[in-house]
Amino acid sequence: MTLRERLNNDDRFAKFVGAQLTEISDGYAKAELRVEERHLNGGGVCQGGVIFTLADLAFAAVANSHGVLTLGISNNITFLKSAQEGDKITAVCQATYDHKKLPYCDIRVTNQDGELICAMTGLAYRTKREMEYDRLM
């Protein structure tokens, strides 16, 4: 099983909201989601938690790409623009500082027009447990 398959299948909440990893390479991951009516909040725009979940899935892929179970310990997210029903939103995560125990990443979420929806940073902790998979993709 690949890391992409493992996270797409085993991250049950991300799967529930419809977030899917589409690319993983060394220090890079991309996840996508189509905003549906079920994702809308009381204001009629995409719920921030849905956007966070998408960004977090891409973050998880980069953080766990070294074969060691790595868990997020701190995130900072800034919402810059609303996502609307029908939008295809994409989270791209890039490793900024690949520390052996505390990797740090930048994540950007954009819509289908390339407009920035939010910016997020993530800090993770690498445990001593293996993360088993055959390859990234």
Give the tens place of pLDDT for each residue, 30-70.
999 999 999 999 999 999 999 999 999 999 999 999 999 99
Cα–Cα distance between 85 and 91 in angstroms, integer? 17
Cα–Cα distance between 32 and 48 in angstroms, integer? 15
Ramachandran category for residue 10: left, alpha or beta (phi over 0 → left; psi -120 to 50 → alpha): alpha
CB 58 within 8 A of CB 30: yes
CA nearest to 121, candidates 55, 45, 61: 55
Give the tens place of pLDDT for each residue, 77-115.
999 999 999 999 999 999 999 999 999 999 999 999 999
- pTM of the predicted model over 0.75: yes
The tokens describing 51, both together, are 């956007």
8 pLDDT band (50/70/90 cuts)?
very high
11 pLDDT band (50/70/90 cuts)?
very high
